[in-house]
Amino acid sequence: MKSREKKQVTRVNTLLHGGDYNPDQWLNRPDILADDLKLMKLAHTNTYSIGIFAWSALEPEEGVYTFDWLDTIFETIHQNGGTIILATPSGARPAWLSQKYPEVLRTNELRLKHLQGARHNHCFSSPVYREKTQHINRLLAERYGNHPALLMWHVSNEYSGECHCDLCQVAFKEWLKETYNNDLAALNEAWWGPFWSHTFNSWSQIQSPSPIGEDAVHGMNLDWRRFITDQTINFYQNELVPLRELTPTIPVTTNFMADTDDLIPYQGLDYGKFAKHVDVITWDGYPAWHNDRESTADLAMKVGFIDDLYRSLKQQPFLLLESTPSAVSWHEVNKAKRPQMHLLSSMQMIAHGSDSIMYFQWRKSRGSSEKFHGAVVDHDNSPENRVFKDVAEVGKILESLSAIAGTTRPADVAILYDWENNWALNDAQGYGAKTKNYTQTVQEHYRTFWEKDIPVDVIMKDQDFSSYKLVVIPMLYLLSLETLSRLKEFVAHGGTVVSTYLTGIVDEHDLAHLGGWPKDLQDIFGINVVETDTLYPSDYNKVRYGEKEYELKEYASIVEVKQAEIKGEYLEDFYAHTPAITSHSFEKGKSYFIGGRLERSFHSDFYGEIIKELRLTPVLSVRHEKGVSVQARQSETEDTIFVMNFSEETQVVYFDQPVWDRLNEVELVGEVMLEKYAVKVVTVPLEDNSQ
């Protein structure tokens, strides 16, 4: 194994606390703006994202600029001891721009032109919009680039969506020509053109996917999604030109998202690719705490997964750029955080690698769609309500923990996640239409490590595998020969890999691998996957593994053993008593294959054995029951460990060695009571924390 190289980290020298501040909504209320400065002190906040949707306040008419209000805000926040994350305003256009230059409006997949309104509805290919956004960005950089309050650039906001206008059709064709080296025959091969007579003999014949045209060519659909990511990045890079030129030492970011209904990473863009173009990963986290679909611990596991994914994208701390101190306004049910949940959920973010707790929004808007969205300052303008006090408590604690800013933690376990794989698998017209659930499946493989307090990196397919002891690749349906070669090298040099059903089915163009399961996979796992069975919800099967039987649902790989050891077998159907779970020693390493989708208890038992075999250990041994999570950050001198109760009852935890309770300034050892939603933050010197 290679030793883990030290990563270059873009450091924030303290933990940030604050959020989206919209003084442009209150320019006619100087009393409100004055109150803000007082309340910022009381809330223990220090950083504010400003200007995100302020274009019409900065340029109310074309070429007419009103920066005086922003000048004042910069000065007053600076004098108040705060710093500013300054946004470029491209996320929402002023009406005059759409009226004069209608080419900036998006066209949807039905080829209908959007109207002015809402936000994030502009064409990324539009030369006019690129020129206008770059110009306003240059003015901002010239005016505020040297201001001591400027901490970071917040470029646009939550990039998303796609455009199918004529400009984007031209851009798509140019992207394809570059991707396929101007070789139309290569494109036809990659898209399997002869199917349904879809061979192109001119680039001009190609149009973006549409339900009123072509949307069943899977290679085209995959390339279109790749183009959307690249075109969005290209637009973002156009915004960066004056920022990099005039403020080369100021870091830049743009905020990533998560789909909140089931809390999975946003799927509209490949953030693995986008991450290479930002200095700091930031994301907007809005878990639906206290929902009636899942336990608090189940939701906390998903939050941990996304945190670990976004931290792993650059192997450095991330920033939580938006969250809510209470409720939001756009869930189906907008439930308030219960007492203690705001502190607990904030500490979870810090524990998994965030260097900030930032909110949308600082002050509730008086009107429009977000007037009831949670905020630090409510319509009552009072520091005495419960939510404001919760925020102030978090602020005080973040001040006491500021030394951990910039720290992270090493991991011996990596779980591979791939946006392109999810796009391709969801597009596949086979298996179960509603049961593929790639991201949810990856989260289930992550769960056991989270529950057992084992640090995990959630990595991309092009990241280095060599420093990990274990790499888990669930459902890697889309598998290129390049990725496969790197996995084979990882195992050959002593690594352990776990894979599952629906892995290695298609290549990077979404073309099926010919000749059966790829030979390198057969070598690594010592098996050949010859068939995949898809089950109805009413179908019944089980797998015997060790001394236990586990329920099988939805998918089962029918496996032919070549050299592998059979660890488990199916018990029902025509493949009864055939291999379901296998292991295989390949050169210096080892592989495991899980043939079917099995119940949660199987993962706990299976990965529990691997954890013992590979001697994977938590940063600190804390004995506890399910519902408690223990996560750590490591500096050069000590571990800071977060012991968090994500259950609705008091839990007993046991510290096997003395630790220092940072929040209460006392030593803890042995049995400690952890109340509902409570958190302990403890430290241990590194030399005292050997496992």
Contact by Cβ (8 Å): 466, 1: yes
Mean predicted lDDT score pLDDT of the chain: 95
What is the percent of the chain with per-residue pLDDT over 90, rounded to a whole number? 94
Q: Is the pLDDT of residue 36 over 50?
A: yes
Q: Is the pLDDT of residue 6 over 60?
A: no
What is the percent of the chain with per-residue pLDDT over 70, rounded to a whole number? 98
User: Looking up tokens 């390049």, which residue turns up?
Assistant: 482
Q: Is the pLDDT of residue 436 over 90?
A: yes
CATH of domain 413-613: 3.40.50.880
**Is 294 in the active site?**
no
Residues 354-365: what's their mean pLDDT? 96
Strand partners, 21: 50
The DSSP output letter for 512 is: B
pLDDT (tens digit, 9 = 90+) per residue, 641-686?
999 999 999 999 999 999 999 999 999 999 999 999 999 999 999 8
- Catalytic: which of 59, 158, 162, 638? 158
For the record, the structure tokens of 660 come out as 């220092």
Q: What pLDDT band is residue 369 in, cutting at 50, 70 and 90?
A: confident
Contact by Cβ (8 Å): 239, 156: yes
CA dist 317 → 301, 344, 408, 600 (Å): 19, 19, 6, 30
pLDDT of residue 688: 62
Chain centre distance of CA 8: 20
pLDDT of residue 3: 36
pLDDT of residue 150: 97
For the record, the structure tokens of 368 come out as 């429009």
Candidates 476, 364, 341; CA nearest to 420 is 476
Candidates 349, 225, 243, 366; CA nearest to 289 is 349
pTM to 2 decimal places: 0.96
Chain centre distance of CA 81: 31
Instruction: Decide which of 2.60.40.1180, 3.60.70.12, 3.10.110.10, 3.90.1300.10 is the CATH code for 622-688.
Output: 2.60.40.1180
Burial profile 514-539: b = 16 or more Cβ within 10 angstroms, e = fewer:
eeebbeebbbbbbbbbeebbbbeeee
> What is the DSSP annotation of 70-87?
HHHHHHHHHHTT-EEEEE
Provide the terminal-to-terminal Cα distance of the chain, rounded to the nearest Å: 20
Residues 6+ apart with CB under 8 A from 665: none
Candidates 422, 374, 441, 369; CA nearest to 594 is 441
pLDDT (tens digit, 9 = 90+) per residue, 557-609?
999 999 999 999 999 999 999 999 999 999 999 999 999 999 999 999 999 99
Q: Using alpha carbons only, how large is the chain's radius of gyration in Å?
A: 26
pLDDT (tens digit, 9 = 90+) per residue, 655-666?
999 999 999 999
CA dist 43 → 39, 329, 388, 397, 424 (Å): 6, 22, 7, 11, 46
Residues 359-368: what's their mean pLDDT? 94
Strand partners, 112: none
Q: What pLDDT band is residue 409 in, cutting at 50, 70 and 90?
A: confident
pLDDT of residue 135: 98
**Is 665 in the active site?**
no
> What is the DSSP annotation of 135-204?
HHHHHHHHHHTT-TTEEEEE-SSS------SHHHHHHHHHHHHHHTTT-HHHHHHHTTTTGGG---SSGG
One-letter amino acid at 48 equals Y
Residues 226-237: what's their mean pLDDT? 98
Chain centre distance of CA 524: 30
Note whether 413-613 and 622-688 share their fold. no
For the record, the structure tokens of 81 come out as 């001891």
- Catalytic: which of 322, 420, 444, 638? 322
Q: Pairing state of beta strands 16-21 and 354-359? A: parallel
Domain boundaries, the chain: 413-613, 622-688
Q: What pLDDT band is residue 323 in, cutting at 50, 70 and 90?
A: very high
Residues 399-409: what's their mean pLDDT? 94
Q: Is the pLDDT of residue 9 over 80?
A: no
Count CB-CB contacts under 10 A for residue 578: 17
Q: Is the pLDDT of residue 194 over 50?
A: yes
Q: What pLDDT band is residue 12 in, cutting at 50, 70 and 90?
A: low
Residues 32-53: what's their mean pLDDT? 97
Contact by Cβ (8 Å): 494, 460: no
Q: Is the pLDDT of residue 1 over 70?
A: no
Contact by Cβ (8 Å): 337, 326: yes
